[in-house]
Amino acid sequence: MLSLSAEAGTAKTVRGVRSYCVPHYYHSKTGPLAAARKLSKSCKDITYTQVCRGFKSIAAVKEALAAAAKISSIKTILFVTGDHASKSDISIFDLLRAVDRKRFKKAAAIVFTRKNEAARIVKKIGAGATEFYTQPVFPGNAGALVNVLQKLPHNVRCSVRIGVMIPFSAAACRRIAKEKPGFISGKTLVERLAAAERKSPEAAYAETAKIAKEAMALAGELAEKNPRVTGVHLFGLTGRTFGKGKNMTRVTAGQLLRRILH
């Protein structure tokens, strides 16, 4: 069975999910370090995201990671280029080489819709990465991920967590697709969500869970064919509100996860 991890939108944990990844968003109001401290009270396996953005030297990176090292629950550092990376003078490979491998495991991202991604993965592994997180997988882009994984040399060792997105509203998904074209694949997902939202809050809830279930099934199929795939990483595992007014339906993150898994 694939292990489950989730992006930590809040400091709340959900039964069945043992590890969490604290993101580092460009417009986030809460700093990732503060979020990691709160999360560490209830989770002992945290992946902390470190972006290239804003750093001008390796010394500055090491200083930033020294603060993360004080939180014992942080076991892994996920290094990503991040949005607005032009504001940095160092690369993702510089970041990977800078971390203390005795203190942290090194992780990196797989953007499988990007050209020459297999070569980038090999280079990241050469810089010390042992774990990888992919962008969300959908029926329309799963073939691209398969192609990238098949191009990796047999002697290259790493573990891969496949991204599974629990979609937000149709409007939110449209915005994400516009900001990050490779993150949400195709127009079908938005159309399905919009159609369900027009029916009822319960229909929107059911369609949201169904889309996530389909991605979970895809992840399972990929794991059967590729031993490097060891887990699933959930994007969007938070409490939700479907609909408005009297017909509004509220669900917790735990309820949402149970509906997806069963």
For residue range 112-136, what is the model confidence (pLDDT) as tens digits? Answer: 988 999 999 999 999 999 999 999 9
Domain 3-261, CATH = 3.20.20.220
pLDDT score of 51: 85
Specify the higher pLDDT residue, 171 or 25.
171
pLDDT score of 136: 93
pLDDT score of 87: 56
Q: Above 60 in pLDDT, residue 158? A: yes
What percentage of the chain has pLDDT greater than the value 70? 93
What percentage of the chain has pLDDT greater than the value 90? 63
pLDDT score of 94: 87
For residues 58-76, give the mean pLDDT: 90
pLDDT score of 255: 95
pLDDT digits (tens, 9 = 90+) for 197-244: 999 999 999 999 999 999 999 999 999 999 999 999 999 999 999 998
Q: Above 90 in pLDDT, residue 53? A: no
pLDDT score of 188: 84
Q: Above 80 in pLDDT, residue 101? A: yes
Q: Above 60 in pLDDT, residue 96? A: yes
Specify the higher pLDDT residue, 246 or 18.
18
DSSP character string of 3-69: EEEEE-SSS---TT--EEEE---TT-SS-HHHHHHHHTTT-S-EEEEEESTT---HHHHHHHHHHHH
148: exposed, middle or buried (C-beta count within 10 Å: 0-12, 13-18, 19+)?
A: buried
Specify the higher pLDDT residue, 6 or 82.
6
129: exposed, middle or buried (C-beta count within 10 Å: 0-12, 13-18, 19+)?
A: buried
For all residues of the chain together, what is the average pLDDT? 89
pLDDT score of 9: 67
Local confidence band at 29 (pLDDT 50, 70, 90 cut-offs): low
Local confidence band at 100 (pLDDT 50, 70, 90 cut-offs): confident
For residues 175-200, give the mean pLDDT: 85
Q: φ and ψ at 128, to 5 degrees?
A: 120, -5
